A and B are shown apart, each in its own frame.
Chain A
Amino acid sequence: MNEVLQKPETVDGELVDSAGREIVLPDSSAVSREVQHTNNALYLRYLLLPFIFLTVALLGGLRIAGEDGAFVFFRPALVCLIFAAILLVLFARAGVLQTDGWFSESSPPLKNVANGFVVATLFAAATQVFNSLLPEQGLPFWIVAFCFFWTLWNNLFADFDARKLFRSLGGLFGLAFVAKYLVLANLTAPAGRTWFEALTENPGQEAITRLLDLPRYSGATGYIQFFAVALFLLGLYLFPATTNIQDRAGNLNGPLTRS
């Protein structure tokens, strides 16, 4: 009995509380699984997610010049910031991002700050995804921007859950990607041709390029942007709705498991 008292983790009898109710201790493997689970959630939330979102922020504005293959870092237009802000509001409405689960007076300040950084990286990534999907200039920019705005604005007033929001976003991003990197990219005349070559080889393409003010980027740009958008969607899938320990089950399963 003395030995048992000296090693409280060694239990060889029934434990009862002061009211006489039985206390059931979980077995040690379940506890270690729980610890592992919590650690994984922390690594995901504070290391993997910011890395994913910042990589999206890095790649979202990267274009490869058609003529010499040089990097072109295209800064986001103001409208991209507005769309990203609306998107974050949509996330909050759909429960993908529960504000009280990420920022709380009862949480330690360090946790609130760390969570703030994660949400900031999400905002940066969302901005750059819009920067990636919107045509750079001219009439196509305004048309696609209007379509984005129309869709996001309608979504603001729709009844949403996480699954529906993800479907809607997947469709929106997919369509915009096809419009920009397949349709418009194929209408763009290649760079580095002389006036004479442009007029004799493919005058229609040259005319559309000049009419719509399409920038001449290399085909590699489309591949990079596909990777950036896919990475953003992966980050969203992994993004926990809340960081509270009580809602851990919801945290680890990702937004798609929530109803």
Chain B
Amino acid sequence: MYSKDAGIIAMKEKYIQILGIAMTLVYGVFVIFLYAAEPRSLEEIPSKAIETVQNAATKGTVITGTYEIDQPRFNEGLAAFRQNNFILARDAFAKADPERRDAKTQYYIAYSFYRQGWGRLTNDDALFKQALESLERVNFIDKNFRSDDADLQLRTPAELKNELEEGLRVTADDFNPLKVLRERK
């Protein structure tokens, strides 16, 4: 009888341990999720959970090497870019490439900052600086990147970077009245 009971306890101990590990994992992941997602109310928890799952899925595609940009969103961004609606374009590009791993998309983002910040008399320095930051990402992803878009006059990061740095620098040339005749690239 003693050994029979000991056997039951050992069996039960195993199941309780497995159940305990599973419960701890599930509850622990829930706690970590709450601190990572920071929902502001109970109602926000489901939407934050969906967002977290989507982010995790995207990270999974990056890890497995199957990451691809969202092509319809990219096309949407490109259409907005061609219509000079740069804010909408950047929003669509950012959604198309949430992991910021596609050189082409990041180049369009940099270019949208340039075109939005370009002015006939003065440039917007803040936007030009953001363009330079985006360009750094392009160089990081693909050092030999070259755009195939005929609409863009500056096809490489180096050309765009030069244009941006020229725009940020204050020189005597900036006071040349003929400057108003130049065109945006």
Contacts and interface: CB of A to CB of B under 8 A. Distances in A.
Contacts of A9: 1
A114 B38 contact: no
Given A71-B39, A71-B40, A73-B34, A121 B19 contact: no
A64 to B, nearest CB: 10
B18 interface: yes
A120 B20 CA distance: 13
A75 interface: yes
A28 interface: yes
A108 to B, nearest CB: 8
B56 interface: no
A110 B18 contact: yes
B23 interface: yes
Contacts, number: 80
A26 B5 CA distance: 13
A43 interface: yes
Contacts of A111: 13, 17
Nearest to A48: B20
Given A46-B20, A70-B40, A114-B21, A58 B34 contact: yes
A246 B17 CA distance: 19
Instruction: Identify the interface centre among A25, A42, A61, A110: most chain B CB within 10 Å of its CB.
Output: A42
Contacts of B5: 31, 34-35
Instruction: Identify the interface centre among B1, B39, B41: most chain A CB within 10 Å of its CB.
Output: B1
B16 interface: yes
B13 A117 contact: no
Interface stretch (B24-32, B124-132, B137-145, B149-157): B24-32
Nearest to A110: B17
A235 B13 CA distance: 21
Contact of A28 (B1, B23, B38): B1
A57 interface: yes
A47 B17 CA distance: 8
Contacts of B13: 42, 111
Contact of A110 (B1, B2, B14, B39): B14
A120 B35 CA distance: 17
A31 B12 contact: no
Nearest to B26: A54
A26 B1 CA distance: 10
A225 to B, nearest CB: 16
Contacts of B20: 45-47, 50, 114, 117-118
A47 B28 contact: no
Contacts of A120: 24
B16 A43 contact: yes
Nearest to B30: A58
Nearest to B4: A9
Contacts of A110: 14, 17-18
B41 A71 contact: yes
B180 interface: no
Interface of A: 9, 25-26, 28, 31, 34-35, 38-39, 42-43, 45-47, 50-51, 54, 57-58, 61, 70-73, 75, 110-111, 113-114, 117-118, 120-121, 124
10 contacts: A35-B8, A35-B9, A50-B20, A50-B24, A58-B30, A73-B35, A110-B14, A114-B20, A121-B28, A124-B28
Given A42-B16, A70-B40, A117-B25, 15 more contacts: A25-B1, A34-B5, A45-B20, A47-B20, A47-B23, A50-B23, A54-B24, A54-B27, A72-B38, A111-B17, A113-B17, A117-B20, A117-B24, A118-B20, A121-B24
3 tightest A-B CB contacts, nearest first: A46-B20, A114-B17, A70-B40
